[in-house]
Chains A and B, each alone.
Chain A
Amino acid sequence: MNRIFIFFTRTHGKGRMDWTDYLSYAYLAVGLFTMFAPIVWLVMSSFKTESAVAQFPPTFLPYSQQSVKVMGHDQPLPLYLTKTPDGERSMAQVMRLGIEATMVDPAKPDAAPIKVNINDRKPINELKFAVENYTEVFGKFSFGKYLFNSVFITVIATLLTLLVNSMAAFALSKYQFKGQKFVFGLIIATLMIPPTIILVPVFLVINSVGFLNSLWGVILPAIATPTGVFLLRQYMLTIPDELLEAARMDHASEWRIYWKIILPLAAPALAVLAIFSVMWRWNDFLLPLIVLSKSEFFTLQLALNSFQGELNTQWHYLLAMTVITLIPITLVFAFLQKYITTGIAGAGVK
């Protein structure tokens, strides 16, 4: 603990803050703010009630107006700090007409309501986390269905990506055959083509094989990635050939060598690719957008998009869904990021 403290309070000047230290901290603070502030704002806003989201000026914390149940009224009434002839009091608003509001004292519901100008009253706010945004979102708009679609696509596509790419990488790194370099070059060359360019041809192919409005139409086009092949191939090159030869002497078939020797030894690189693949598939928007047009096949990303109505957007639900959408990717990253660093270090230049 002490060592952690020493590590984090190290300075360029010996023991004192140098101007470079101030500069570094300022730079880090700016970076932290620009990256983190929108997320924090999003999370905070997702706990706001519908009216609080629309409130101007906006508040950072999720405030919402207090309300009170008053006898003789079915709905809870909003509370206001109201200027009355006898001084300021908290009163419930019964109704509002133009600039005139009818207020009642919640303590004395039978007393005659008084009319005040709306400028003479201020809403009484309290800190309140609108958890119902989250609970309701599960019941509404078949959120579960979208979540399932997203998870299904992500999990299946990632598994297939690992399988297909590692097989390609195995062949390209451990077998000598004619045109091996050419094939590898061709795969790498596809990195130069932006996915948006081939969107139309991909759509046409998916359409003609009948995968339109099918989750497989999103999964299959995405499983073979040049990045994955490159990453795994570079890593597998570092696995000594003697291990393969030893396995061959041990009666292992080529499939056994791949499955029992290569895959376990390439685990760090596979972990990196798995993380990438999960991020790509989970955040993917363009491909699902063109392939999946029926709402029952929507992924979370598509659902988020479709909630932005032309006339009316239910921002509080949209924000809550956005937060839920972010959670899996954050967890994956938090728990597997050490594999990314070790994996990239291992798979990179060697």
Chain B
Amino acid sequence: MSTLQLKSLTKSFGDVSVIKGVDLDVAHGQFVVFVGPSGCGKSTLLRMIAGLETASTGEIKIDNVVVNDVSAAQRGCAMVFQSYALYPHMSVYDNMAFGLENAGMAKTVVREKVTGAATLLRLSELLDRKPTQLSGGQRQRVAIGRAIVREPKLFLFDEPLSNLDAELRVSMRAELRDLHARLGSTMIYVTHDQVEAMTLADKIVVLRAGKIEQIGTPKELYERPVNTFVAGFIGSPRMNFIPRSALQAMPALASQLSAATSQVGIRPEHLHVLAAGEVTGEQGVGLPLTIAQAEYMGATSLLQGTLADGTKIEVMQQHAVPVTRGDVVTLMMDATKLHSFDVNEQRIG
């Protein structure tokens, strides 16, 4: 069993407050992803859990034991760094064995564990190599291998895939998921890439400026974002926000909105456009949309345009629409998929 609890955790560097009161519960075996724009404090939070940074106030509990004053080595966490941080002068084997040797394990036990981890990560052929002789993906696997040989209570990943190319990132993502399923240990993963967060996480923690904005499963975050920040951050292409005033042309829809609504959000895939003159049996009238850009992507097309009041809109169209730059089309929306937000950008309903 390995659980993690954070209680009103704060961190400040001098006068600069980086983490402003974070509360979080992580159950055993969960894959938790911290996501947020750069500078939101997600890496600092991870380093505080690891013990590489001290907490200013608040509590960090691992397995219900407060570990604020426990050194990084004694916390039982293993961390995979963004730069991998492999020891450049040691072979792959020594890199993976270093932690075990430090813990005073017998040589035979060390050998057994390292070869076991190497087999798991398909590194057996590379054990004698130096890190400089490895490709990016292989280094990544060594860094993960170094973490798993120690059988830690908690795995911490600090943007581990950001140095890999797009293709490798997708396959490493799958490997990480697979690894989590096999080991069943608690993992905490930091990324600024919401796609990584969505695909990997059991539970996503969205951070902004040192505060948690929302915690939930990928589905919850996508379907019920608590505010415009989360709504805009999760999902690609990002959600459209339309001020209430722009919806007056659609009285049927406008009347459904609660009085406090100041703007609505709708995801690009819940919008579609009608070319000029095209008539369907749909209820209500649409909004006129001036097309600025039309990107054909095969299965879908991405249309970018502006409403009469200048609001930028992106539409993910399932079927190709013959539009070009400058065309004015009718924008239709699925009223059941609307998200309403109040003046404080908080979700209504």
Contacts and interface: CB of A to CB of B under 8 A. Distances in A.
Nearest to A248: B72
Contacts of B146: 246, 250
A245 interface: yes
User: How many of chain A's residues touch chain B, expressed as a range?
Assistant: 10 to 19
Interface in A234-278: 240, 242-243, 245-253, 256, 260-261, 264-265
Contacts of B79: 245-246, 249
Interface in B73-119: 73, 77-79, 81-83, 85-89, 98-99, 102-103
B52 interface: yes
Interface string B143-155: 0001000100000
B85 A246 contact: yes
Interface in A194-226: none
Chain B interface, >50% SS class: loop
B50 interface: yes
B52 A251 contact: no
Contacts of A265: 88-89
Contact of A245 (B52, B88, B103): B52
Contacts of A261: 87
Nearest to B78: A249
Contacts of B88: 265
B102 A243 contact: no
Contacts of A253: 73, 102
Given A253-B102, A265-B88, A248 B81 contact: no
A313 B32 CA distance: 85
B2 to A, nearest CB: 16
B192 to A, nearest CB: 18
A260 B98 contact: yes
Interface string A145-176: 00000000000000000000000000000000
Given A249-B72, A251-B103, A240 B83 contact: yes
A250 B89 contact: no
A252 B98 contact: yes
A343 to B, nearest CB: 16
B113 to A, nearest CB: 13
A264 B89 contact: yes
Interface in B6-44: none
A31 to B, nearest CB: 39
Given A249-B50, A252-B73, A256-B102, A243 B89 contact: no
Nearest to B104: A251
A245 B85 contact: yes
A250 B50 contact: no
B98 A247 contact: yes
Contacts of B72: 245, 248-249
Nearest to B149: A250
A240 B85 contact: yes
Contact of A252 (B77, B83, B102): B102
A137 B299 CA distance: 93
Please indicate which of the listed interface residues A246, A261, A264 has the most CB atoms of chain B within 10 Å of its own CB: A246
A235 to B, nearest CB: 14
A248 B86 CA distance: 13
Contacts of B52: 245, 248-249
A242 B98 contact: no
Contact of B81 (A245, A252, A260, A264): A245
12 contacts: A245-B52, A246-B81, A248-B52, A248-B72, A249-B52, A249-B77, A250-B102, A251-B102, A253-B73, A253-B102, A256-B102, A260-B98
Among all A-B residue pairs, the 3 with the closest Cβ atoms = A250-B99, A246-B85, A251-B102
Interface of A: 240, 242-243, 245-253, 256, 260-261, 264-265
Given A249-B52, A250-B98, A260-B98, 5 more contacts: A242-B81, A245-B50, A245-B72, A251-B73, A256-B102
